[in-house]
């Protein structure tokens, strides 16, 4: 009996040893990029999500670049990953979407974003959903919502100036929800304060890049609970709307309901709710982060703030009626404003990584990316590379003078690229530009406390950024 037990133990040890050996010594029809796979299943996930208190490329990435070069292998979230900090490879991944690569996210991400999220769609269904979204927030639709964005920004700033202090990230997120919630689902937090969608999204955001332990008390568990509550609210709203088919709100829900009624539609209720969930999250979180970061940069750079204010004061001077609202032509003329926006996005790297799966063995330089492996595009390493940008950690909007201020390139991929280009990119730029216009033409501010940033690798303001606003005609 003892002999059998010892044999079973020996067999178990041999099996585990063999498994670990295969995990760390991978086979490939070519040469794999160098790197370390870490521990089986766990990989190097904990090192990857370790907090970093700087806008610079994380220590996890920088240390491996020094050791292995700009392309290396690792294991994250239970998957075999090739990390690309190489601008050529990263650009190729975006350009080859749907051919050599397809968008991919770790299973833990899929669980919190929803299996029917636009981010996970491919082919014709993705194109169909993307066209649906563009009817509301596409570049051709922005002129129709232009004045609404300005009205919401103005109304919120009037409220902030009456407060002794304003936590900017939260206040801007509320402002964006006031606009997008109304536009997407006719959601009004004033009318339904008990259904605070944004607060549930906050729990969701904090756990998105956490280690995926679905245990009560963990950030990931709270993230899933936040998603569950938001999805329940959205489902109830959709059912209420469907029960009153003659009530038209002129929002995205109306469009969704009309599509669901069609006999030949590919749209389902699950896809609809995941789509709305993702759109509300992406706009609220990324744009509020970018605006908060822009104000922090301008607070620390009086020269940039002065030039920005002069650009917008000139817009007012050229108007026949100074009190009139912004025009589309004025918006398109904001050259220095877009330089500020580009520099903020370059330094902020609001979307720090993008995942794609190789559909076939792919040769790149001296390496082979095996079919089925994941490539993680690490945009901060491209945007903060001194080869691409002189003094990359310096906030310098003047570096964009005479350069392309929209779109993507091999050295500027803040919104992805090609078919993976962010569907809400134009809306985000518009919201940032209008916010800055309303702010610098009417108000000034001073920081009170906070403003520290942490990357996990998502950008966060753990202590907030508290500022006090003043009307511009009062003594500074």
The domain spans of the chain are 44-471
Contacts by 297-301, CB closer than 8 A, 24 or more apart: 297/340, 297/343, 297/344, 297/347, 297/395, 298/340, 299/445, 299/447, 299/451, 299/467, 300/395, 301/395
Q: Hey, what are 163's tokens?
A: 């407060």
Percent of the chain topping pLDDT 90: 48
Looking at 161-196, list the stretches that DSSP marks H as alpha helix, in order from N- to C-terminal side.
168-185
Name the band, by pLDDT with cuts 50, 70 and 90, for residue 194.
very low
pLDDT tens string 117-142: 777 777 788 888 888 888 878 777 88
Q: Phi and psi dihedrals of 76, rounded to 5?
A: -135, 135
* Mean pLDDT confidence for 84-112: 90
pLDDT in tens, 383-433: 999 999 999 999 999 999 988 777 788 999 999 888 888 888 899 999 999
Please tell me whether 28 is known to bind a ligand.
no
Mean pLDDT, the chain, rounded, equals 86
Identify which has the larger pLDDT, 73 or 402. 73
Task: CATH number for 44-471: choose from 3.30.930.10, 1.10.1660.10, 1.10.630.10, 1.10.10.60.
Answer: 1.10.630.10
Which of 50-59, 124-133, 199-208 has the largest mean confidence? 50-59
- Which pLDDT tens digit goes with each residue over 145-188? 888 999 999 999 999 999 999 999 999 988 998 888 888 888 77
What local confidence, expressed as pLDDT, does residue 191 receive?
Answer: 58
Residue 78: name the closest of 104, 50, 103, 108 by CA: 108
């Amino acid at each position: 009996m003892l002999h059998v037990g010892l044999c079973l133990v020996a067999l178990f040890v041999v099996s585990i040893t063999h498994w670990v050996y295969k995990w760390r010594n991978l086979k490939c029809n070519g040469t794999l990029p160098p790197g370390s796979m870490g521990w089986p299943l766990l990989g190097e996930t904990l090192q990857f999500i370790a907090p970093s208190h700087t806008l610079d490329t994380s220590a996890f990435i920088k240390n491996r670049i020094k050791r292995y070069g700009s392309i290396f292998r690792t294991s994250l979230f239970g998957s075999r990953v090739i990390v690309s900090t190489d601008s050529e490879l990263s650009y190729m991944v975006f350009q080859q979407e749907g051919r050599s690569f397809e968008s991919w996210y770790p299973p833990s991400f899929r669980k919190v974003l929803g299996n029917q999220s636009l981010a996970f769609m491919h082919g014709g269904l993705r194109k169909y959903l993307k066209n649906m979204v563009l009817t509301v927030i596409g570049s051709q639709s922005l002129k129709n919502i232009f004045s609404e964005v300005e009205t919401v920004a103005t109304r919120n700033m009037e409220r902030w100036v009456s407060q002794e202090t304003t936590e900017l990230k939260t206040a801007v997120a509320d402002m964006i929800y006031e606009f997008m919630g109304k536009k997407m689902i006719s959601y009004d937090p004033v009318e339904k304060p008990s259904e605070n969608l944004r607060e549930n999204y906050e729990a969701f955001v904090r756990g998105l890049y956490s280690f995926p332990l679905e245990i009560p008390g963990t950030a990931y568990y709270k993230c899933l609970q936040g998603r569950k509550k938001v999805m329940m609210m959205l489902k109830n709203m959709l059912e209420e709307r469907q029960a009153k088919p003659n009530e038209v709100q002129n929002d995205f829900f109306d469009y969704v309901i009309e599509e669901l009624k069609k006999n030949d539609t590919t749209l389902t209720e699950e896809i609809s709710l995941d789509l709305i969930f993702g759109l509300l999250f992406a706009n609220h979180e990324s744009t509020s982060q970018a605006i908060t970061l822009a104000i922090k940069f301008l607070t620390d750079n009086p020269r940039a703030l002065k030039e920005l204010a002069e650009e917008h004061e000139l817009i007012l001077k050229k108007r026949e009626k100074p009190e009139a609202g912004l025009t589309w032509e004025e918006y398109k003329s904001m050259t220095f404003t877009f330089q500020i926006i580009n520099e903020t996005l370059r330094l902020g790297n609001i979307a720090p990584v993008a995942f794609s799966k190789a559909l076939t063995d792919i040769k790149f330089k001296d390496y082979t990316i095996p079919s089925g492996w994941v490539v993680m595009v690490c945009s901060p390493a491209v945007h903060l590379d001194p080869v691409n940008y002189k003094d990359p950690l310096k906030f310098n909007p003047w570096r964009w003078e005479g350069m392309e201020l929209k779109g993507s390139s091999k050295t500027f991929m803040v919104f992805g690229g090609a078919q993976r280009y962010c569907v809400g990119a134009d809306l985000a730029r518009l919201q940032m530009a209008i916010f800055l216009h309303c702010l610098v033409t009417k108000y000034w501010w001073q920081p009170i406390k906070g403003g520290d940033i942490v990357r996990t690798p998502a950008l966060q303001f753990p202590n907030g950024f508290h500022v006090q606003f003043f009307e511009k005609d009062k003594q500074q």
